[in-house]
Amino acid sequence: MAAKDIAKELERLKSERDELERLNNELDARVLEIYSLYNISKVLNLSIGIEEIFNGTIDTIGKSLRIDEFCIMLLDETSNELVVRAWYPDPVVLPCICLKIGEGISGMAAKTGKPVLVQDVSKEPKSMFYKGAATNIGAFLCVPLVGKHGNILGVFNIHKAQPNSFNENDVKFFTEVAQQIAIAVEKAYIYKNARDISMRDELTGMYNRRYFFDYIEKELSRAKRYKKHFSVLMIDIDHFKNFNDKNGHLLGDDAIKQTAKLLIDKLRTADVVARYGGEEFICLLPETPNNRAVVVAEKLRKAVEGSKYKGGENQPSGMVSVTIGVATWPDDAKSAIKLIDYADKALYLGKSRGRNMVVSAVSAVSGIEI
């Protein structure tokens, strides 16, 4: 064989070897992607809460893939804005960034429902990326998180330090990852909604008795740890049977809903109020000693007394009123059940003494009215 032919054959073999090496590298990369996607899917399928999803995804993606930074933003239904809910490599400190739909690259991806790739962030306005809050980004890929019915749940943002770092396979792969995240987020929302329904009172929308009993045990543990007082208010609408008999059960339901709303509006965000049953309500006031709890209870009593209820004129006193019993941990009782019992006893002492009053558990035990 002539030297020229030998050289040509060697060149062909070298070209085939290079092509085979390229295909092997692509195959290795694809196997790594599939393995990573499998791990991500496994973690997400086991997650039932939003925080679990974020923690699992951050850990798995962060350790499996060569990504400099990524974050997950979810759509807040109240504000209709994208809010950062997870960030890698620092999952503890989340940047306070909110974007409207259509605002910046993330907002555009959420609006169109399609991935947006920017290979060189330096050539785009800074406001397009978290309103300029993050500037050390070379290349940026934003993939929308799309629900089963085409609804936008949020976006998955991936950053790479070097420009032109993403290829076509990257876009496909991260779109697959985003689909898995979206499925898990939607599942978590369904679980959360079901859980919310199970701990909410159907008539008033406030917490129910079951939730309150769970919560007070947690508050008791916290109060013991930090040596803080907390108080319980037991509240009952006075002469409620008379109200129903004179006005009918529909107006009775309205009176319960109106009282529930009034209690929620008048209490602090940290306070927990629940429907205890029938026309009874129960409140937990964290870090509140007895004297302050009595003041709060009196404020609630006056608020109900001063509110106009449809049918209230048919009550014995010509208005709707409530009687409230107050008990405080650890002064009145050392256990949650006993504390509720003492608040209940104080309530019924108030009932026996004429209603429309606040009575502390101290009075219920000693028989002395405050």
What is the C-alpha to C-alpha distance for residues 197 and 192, in angstroms, rounded to an integer?
9
| Residue from 72, 41, 51, 55 nearest 142 by CA | 72
The confidence score (pLDDT) of residue 368 equals 40
Other C-beta atoms closer than 10 Å to the C-beta of 141 total 25
CA 317 to chain centre: 43
CA distances from 122 to 163, 318, 354 (A): 9, 72, 75
Percent of the chain residues topping a pLDDT of 90: 58
Q: Which pLDDT tens digit goes with each residue over 210-230? A: 999 999 999 999 999 999 999
Supply φ then ψ for residue 220, to 5 degrees.
-65, -45
The confidence score (pLDDT) of residue 86 equals 84
Looking at the predicted structure, is the pLDDT value of residue 11 above 80? no
DSSP string, 119-178: S-GGGS-GGGTGGGT----SEEEEEEEE-TTS-EEEEEEEEESSTT---HHHHHHHHHHH
Looking at the predicted structure, is the pLDDT value of residue 145 above 90? yes
CB-neighbour burial class of residue 325 (10 A; exposed 0-12, middle 13-18, buried 19+): buried
Looking at the predicted structure, is the pLDDT value of residue 62 above 70? no
Q: Thinking of the domain 207-366, which architecture would CATH place it in?
A: 2-Layer Sandwich (3.30)
What is the C-alpha to C-alpha distance for residues 315 and 79, in angstroms, rounded to an integer?
42
Query: Which tokens hold the place of 150?
Result: 């085409």
Average confidence score pLDDT of the chain: 86
The confidence score (pLDDT) of residue 51 equals 73
What is the C-alpha to C-alpha distance for residues 239 and 322, in angstroms, rounded to an integer?
9
- pLDDT confidence band for 363 (50 / 70 / 90): low
Q: Are 61 and 88 in contact (CB under 8 A)?
A: yes
CA distances from 118 to 86, 128, 138, 362 (A): 21, 10, 9, 68
pLDDT higher at 197 or 217 = 217
Q: Which pLDDT tens digit goes with each residue over 318-340? A: 999 999 999 999 999 999 999 99
71 - beta bridge partners? 87, 157
Segment 291-310 shows an average pLDDT of 97
- pLDDT confidence band for 136 (50 / 70 / 90): confident
The confidence score (pLDDT) of residue 56 equals 64
75 - beta bridge partners? 82
- pLDDT confidence band for 44 (50 / 70 / 90): low
- pLDDT confidence band for 65 (50 / 70 / 90): low
CATH superfamily of 3-197: GAF domain (3.30.450.40)
Segment 126-133 shows an average pLDDT of 80
What is the C-alpha to C-alpha distance for residues 315 and 311, in angstroms, rounded to an integer?
8
Segment 14-39 shows an average pLDDT of 59
Contacts for 216 with CB less than 8 Å, ≥ 6 apart: 232, 284, 336, 339, 340
CA 334 to chain centre: 31
The confidence score (pLDDT) of residue 370 equals 39
**CATH topology match: 3-197 vs 207-366:** no
Query: Which tokens hold the place of 241?
Result: 């049977």
Query: Which tokens hold the place of 236?
Result: 């009952």
Supply φ then ψ for residue 9, to 5 degrees.
-65, -40
The confidence score (pLDDT) of residue 4 equals 67
Query: Which tokens hold the place of 26?
Result: 């692509």
Segment 329-354 shows an average pLDDT of 95
Domain ranges of the chain: 3-197, 207-366
